[in-house]
Amino acid sequence: MREARILPIKVSHDFLTNIVKLAHELPRIFHWLSFTVVEDEGFSIDFAYNHQRGQYNAEEILNELKRRKGFRVLGVTQVDLYVPSLNFVFGLAEYGGNAALISTNRLRPGFYGEPHDEKKFFERMIKEAVHELGHTFFLKHCPRSYCVMHFSNSIYETDAKKKEFCHVCKRELEEKIESIV
Ligand SMILES: [Zn+2]
Ligand SMILES: [Zn+2]
């Protein structure tokens, strides 16, 4: 069993319960990992803020996460993220690396003017976390729209996919983890 760490980044105190729930949920899919929530008040992302865009640069935050110890490190934030080539991203990860990052900002039904739905919100959060962690285990985007590794460009695509890997990605992942874990 290898240890993965979840680092809350710029989240409200109330939000931490969601992160704890996520830490309980993820080992159902990544059964060779244990997930621990590690709080670090000193981890600041101010340097990654882009005043013009009013968003945070996900690549710069990911670079900081890569430097942290841990077999896998998943940053979870409530702030909005972007990469220079896209308007926004739900998350980002280092392909085959140790670091992944997700933002829950655009996973909230409220972001789309819909009433809050805790179950829907949490399902989306799991999907994005599994997707980004999948990249750290060398998985690429999957053409199957129901697979968690399908690229989401919009929340509709996130909702359309499951939180599990399709049979092809699953097989690939199992081959990969045999050699890494
Ligand atoms: Zn992706
Ligand atoms: Zn797949």
- Count CB neighbours of 77 within 10 A: 22
**pLDDT attached to residue 42:** 86
- Count CB neighbours of 156 within 10 A: 9
Nearest Cα to 132, choosing from 44, 16, 10, 26? 26
Residues of the chain with pLDDT > 70, as a percent, come to 100
Q: Is pLDDT of 151 > 90?
A: yes
Of residues 132, 164, 172, 174, which has the active-site annotation? 132
Please report whether residue 156 resides in a domain: no
- The answer to whether 15 and 8 have CB atoms below 8 angstroms apart is yes
Q: Is pLDDT of 69 > 90?
A: no
**pLDDT attached to residue 159:** 97
Please report whether residue 84 resides in a domain: yes
Please report whether residue 154 resides in a domain: no
Please report whether residue 60 resides in a domain: yes
**pLDDT attached to residue 1:** 86
User: Which pTM does this prediction carry?
Assistant: 0.96
Q: Is pLDDT of 98 > 90?
A: yes
**pLDDT attached to residue 5:** 97
Please report whether residue 176 resides in a domain: no
Residue 15 CA, distance from chain mean position: 15
Q: Which domain does 11 fall in, by range?
A: 2-139
Task: Return the residue matching tokens 């989401």.
Answer: 152
Rounded Cα distance between 171 and 85, Å, is 31
Span 128-134, average pLDDT: 98
- Averaged confidence pLDDT in the chain: 96
CATH number of residue 88's parent domain: 3.40.390.10
Nearby residues for ligand 2 (ion, Cβ within 5 Å): 142, 144, 147, 149, 166, 169
Rounded Cα distance between 128 and 85, Å, is 19
Sheet holding 49-50, edge to edge: 49-50, 55-57, 81-83, 86-89
**pLDDT attached to residue 70:** 87
Q: Which ligand is nearest to the CA of 142?
A: 2
Please report whether residue 170 resides in a domain: no
Q: Which two tokens stand for residue 102?
A: 């997700």
What is the 39 CA–ligand 1 centroid distance (Å)? 25
What is the 12 CA–ligand 2 centroid distance (Å)? 33
- Mark whether 132 is an active-site residue: yes
Q: Is pLDDT of 145 > 90?
A: yes
Into how many domains does the chain fold? 1
Span 54-75, average pLDDT: 96
For residue range 110-120, what is the model confidence (pLDDT) as tens digits? 999 999 999 99
